[in-house]
Structure formats: structure tokens, C-alpha cells
Amino acid sequence: MFETIEKEIIKNKQFLTDVLDGLSSDSKHISSKYFYDKKGDAIFQQIMHMDEYYLTNAELDIFESHKSEIARIFFPEQQPFNLIEFGAGDGMKTKVLLKELLNHEIPFDYVPIDISQNALDQLHQSLTKEMPDLSFKGIQGDYFEVLNKLKESNGRRNVVLFLGSNIGNFTNDEAQSFTSNISNKLNPGDLLFIGVDLKKDPKKILLAYNDSKGITAEFNYNLLRRINRELGGNFDVEQFEHHPTYDPVTGECKSALLSKIEQEVELDGQTFHFAEWEPIHTEISRKYSLKQLHQLAKKSGFEVKKDLFDANQYFVDSIWEIV
């Protein structure tokens, strides 16, 4: 009980420090990892069901069409393995694969990692009900922190899932550092299974982050509401506007919150001044070409074993191996 409270206080301290740093910067920014509180998790589930957010259906299509092939690739030597998933969320697509592995009585531990304790708790609850035989070993934490603990594994083969184009939330340097870090922790024969949104019609991409019902806007506003709720900020959310942009040259889809007026915001005894239309950058969702993705694999020490596409070729699940 006390341990849980202590963990909560440390998490909130980090959240406050990061927000204060981001708002003090010349170009204001807040990390997208703070989108995911209980409210943010629920809004993201709505986003996944939107017609405009094609990413979920595309990746689900890949899982449904290739599940037996994927299971064979994950379990070639009939040895028990660890299925580690970074940023598991509600596990909607992963469940297709988990069922397939369980149906074939393949022995594995499922190790979902997520910054949101709420997401992990809900995932555990639903999996206990839907797949009571599954061995579930959830870990709460930031990707980069948990990565450092991966070394303490149980000697089994590791298969790492990183789905939903979560890699797109990283800058180029962060993506390189993340995949290299994973590769350093893995052993020959281990796999990274990475789901990535591909470059396509810019109009289609932009709509996924700026839907007609305003759900993606609400996701962005919730970040300010969360700062007010958890850190005692006084953002007047009505005075900010959701502003996504997509640049086909860099492949970067960026979301920002623009201050509609000149205003001041108080947080933790500090005052932050906003000029009219000044942005707070909140999210990057980078789109890749297949070539860029393969370059990333190579530079991080992986060999591309297989690329699986959805019927529209919007999305790729690329399977990388340590050789």
C-alpha cells in the first residue's frame, strides 16, 4: 500500500518536473507519454475505433491474415519464450496473436510494459477473463527505464513487440537509440516485431489526427486537463486550439496546442507567459518509408526477416532478428 503511494508520488514528481521544463523552454513542449492517464486511455480507445484512424484496422488486418505464420516465426524451436510488449495499451490486436499461441499450446510468458498503470490493470483484467491460461507478467514504467531491466531475463528466447506505430512518437535520434538499445539487450535468434505506419496520401494521414468529431482534439486537450487535475495547474483549456500538421518531406505528423490569446498560466508557483498563437508541441507521429525502416533495422544491429502488409499497404509489421 505505502509502496504504491510512494511510486505514485515519484511518478507525479517526474511529471511535474518534465512539464515545468517543457513550458520553460523557448519552444514549449510536453511529452506525448503524458497523454495516458485513465481519461487519456479511454479517449485513445475511442480514437482506435474511429473510421479516420486507419492504423488500427490496418494492423488488425495483418494480425488476422498472418497469425499462424507469425506464431510459426515466434516459436521455431518449440522452446518456451518471453513475449515482451512495449506500450501494450488495451492489447486489442495482440489478443489475436495471444489466442493463436494459446490454441497451439505454445508455452510463453506475456510481458506487457506500459507507462499507464490503468492500461495495464485493465489489460490484466480482460486477459484473466478471456484467456485464463495465459501467464501474464505486466510491468509499469517508461520504455527506456524498463529497457535497462531487460537484461535480467530468464534465459529464454525473447520476442519483443512494439506495435501501433509507437516508434513514430520518437524523433529520428530517439528511434535509433531505442531500437539499438533493444538490440543490445537481445541475443542471437531473438526478434523485434515492429508495427509502423507508412508514408501515404498526406490528406489521409492528417485526418487520422484531426477527425471530424474532435476526438483527437479532446485527446490533446486532456493533457492540459490532466496537468490541472494532477499538478494543480490553471490552464483555461478553452483558450487553446488543437493543431495537427503533416510534412510529407520529413514524414512528421506533429500535434500542437496553440494559445488562442496572449495569456499566463500558473503551475507550481511559476507563471508561464503565452503569446497569441504560441504553440506547445505535444506529439510527433512519424511516418516511414520501407527503405527508412530497413535502414533503421540495419543501423540498430538487426536483420529484416519478414515484412507483413495489410491489404491497402498502409502499414507494415516488420520482423527483425538478431543474427
Ligand X SMILES: C[S@@+](CC[C@H](N)C(=O)[O-])C[C@H]1O[C@@H](n2cnc3c(N)ncnc32)[C@H](O)[C@@H]1O
Q: Which residues bind ligand X (CB under 6 A)?
A: 33, 36, 44, 87-89, 92-93, 114-116, 119, 142-143, 163-164, 166
d(CA 31, CA 146): 18
For the CB of residue 143, give the shortest distance to ligand X in the complex, in Å.
Answer: 4
Task: End-to-end CA distance of the chain: give it in Å, rounded.
Answer: 44
Residues in the chain, how many?
A: 323
Pick between residue 44 and residue 288 the one whose CB is nearest to ligand X. Answer: 44
Three-state DSSP class for residue 166: helix
Pick between residue 12 and residue 270 the one whose CB is nearest to ligand X. Answer: 12
For the CB of residue 79, give the shortest distance to ligand X in the complex, in Å.
Answer: 26
d(CA 160, CA 302): 13
> What angle is formed at CA 236 by the lines to CA 258 and CA 119, rounded to 5 degrees?
85
Pick between residue 180 and residue 239 the one whose CB is nearest to ligand X. Answer: 180
Looking only at the bridges linking them, the beta strands covering 135-136 and 270-274 are: unpaired
For the CB of residue 125, give the shortest distance to ligand X in the complex, in Å.
Answer: 15
Pick between residue 62 and residue 134 the one whose CB is nearest to ligand X. Answer: 62
C-alpha cell read off for 6: 510512494
For the CB of residue 35, give the shortest distance to ligand X in the complex, in Å.
Answer: 7
Pick between residue 62 and residue 88 the one whose CB is nearest to ligand X. Answer: 88
d(CA 64, CA 167): 22
For the CB of residue 208, give the shortest distance to ligand X in the complex, in Å.
Answer: 12
List, in sequence order, the alpha helices (H) in 37-141: 38-48, 54-74, 94-103, 117-130
**Residues 182, 193 contacting (CB under 8 angstroms):** no
For the CB of residue 247, give the shortest distance to ligand X in the complex, in Å.
Answer: 20
Q: Residue with the closest Cβ to ligand X?
A: 164
d(CA 116, CA 33): 9
Q: If we measure between CA atoms, which residue out of 161, 162, 103 comes closest to residue 134? A: 103
Pick between residue 41 and residue 259 the one whose CB is nearest to ligand X. Answer: 41
Q: Beta-carbon neighbour count of residue 16 at 10 Å?
A: 17
Pick between residue 37 and residue 190 the one whose CB is nearest to ligand X. Answer: 37
For the CB of residue 64, give the shortest distance to ligand X in the complex, in Å.
Answer: 15
Three-state DSSP class for residue 258: strand
d(CA 259, CA 215): 19
Pick between residue 73 and residue 139 the one whose CB is nearest to ligand X. Answer: 139
For the CB of residue 122, give the shortest distance to ligand X in the complex, in Å.
Answer: 10
- Which CA distances in Å does 208 have to 54, 90, 112, 165? 7, 19, 26, 13
